[in-house]
Amino acid sequence: MDGILVPLLATLAAGGLAYVFIFPLLSGEREAERRIRDVGMTDAVVRRAKRGGPDPAVTRRQQVEETLKELEARRRNARRPPLQVRLAQAGLDWSRQRFIFISVALGILAFIAALVFRWPVYLALGLAFVAGLGLPRWLLGWLKNRREQKFLREFPNAVDVIVRGVKSGLPLGDCIRIIASEAQEPVRGEFRHVVETQALGIPLSDACARMFERVPVAETSFFAIVVAIQAKSGGNLSETLGNLSRVLRDRRKMHGKIQAMSMEAKASAAIIGSLPIAVMLLVYLSTPSYISLLWTEPLGRLMLAGSAFWMLTGILVMRKMINFDF
């Protein structure tokens, strides 16, 4: 009996091992399981896997990185724009020749006025330099900053119009045309320029990227990035622009908070900067002969010039400390 049982058990064990390891190979069970897994994948992914093609997620990330690099390069190039671009940023339709002519005319008038009041020649030349070179460019920067602030107040509303239009089924180009005809200036003019640029055959993403050249603020750069990424790699444009609108409004609120928190420091800087001038004026009104030595004697004029230099340096340092960039 034992001689029959041992071979029987050995045969059963060998059959079990063969069933476990050899039968799936012969019956095609593993091949069926592999095919079932392939069916669970999309046909496009299966084809890419068989061909060894790139992952779509990796491709989209590469497209986004390339877009960001292009826009960052444009942003670096826009830090020192030419004179004609700065005139457009300030909202002026002047030509470059007209601006230079006005600057030269201001310098000549300032020089003649200084000679009429019998100022020394070196002071007249300094006044002409300031009036002809410094004053026009300061006014250009002031106009540019004022236009940017007006643009930032209206720009989130324009983005909201695009979001509502896209959600209702309108194309992005039609939403931009609505803003170009209904929004307030300077947003209306900038989006009208985008529409006109697109009509010349330039892609919408490039037309929006050029908006940053005329309004060099971070908000227009964000908008150009969103449009460029959506054009290259797709995505939910309404959701992305909705998030952008919230970011723009939060940045606006943060700017207001920073202005409110820095008002105390600005008031202190204004008092410190005006205090020496006020004391000098009061002393002149009370005892003119005492303080007149500052501009009648050579040493006094030197002391006055040194004091003005150090006061100007202190004011610029305080201005740098209380102006926050974010």
- List, for the chain, all residue ranges whose pLDDT scores fall below the cut of 70: 1-80, 233-235, 324-326
Size (the chain), residues:
326
* Contact assessment for residue 311 and residue 317, using Cβ atoms and an 8 Å cutoff: no
> What was the pLDDT predicted at 284?
86
Task: List the end-to-end C-alpha distance of the chain, in Å, as a whole number.
Answer: 93
Whole-angstrom Cα distance, residue 190 to residue 194? 6
> What's the number of CA atoms in the CB half-sphere (13 Å) around residue 281?
5
Whole-angstrom Cα distance, residue 100 to residue 179? 34
> What was the pLDDT predicted at 288?
83
pTM recorded for the entire structure: 0.63
Q: What are phi and psi of 180, to 5 degrees?
A: -65, -20
Tokens 């622009």 appear where? 241
- Nearest Cα neighbor of 203 from 182, 180, 224, 175 is 224
> What was the pLDDT predicted at 152?
85
Look up residue 42 and give its two tokens.
């999309």
Torsion, Cα of 100, 102, 107, 109 (10° steps):
160
**Angle of CA points 268, 273, 275, to nearest 5°:** 95
Whole-angstrom Cα distance, residue 37 to residue 41? 7
* Contact assessment for residue 215 and residue 190, using Cβ atoms and an 8 Å cutoff: yes
The residues spanned by each domain of the chain are 2-51, 83-254, 263-322
Whole-angstrom Cα distance, residue 156 to residue 159? 5
> What was the pLDDT predicted at 194?
85
> What was the pLDDT predicted at 21?
54
- Nearest Cα neighbor of 156 from 238, 244, 255 is 244
* Contact assessment for residue 281 and residue 290, using Cβ atoms and an 8 Å cutoff: no
Single-letter amino acid code for the residue at 201: G
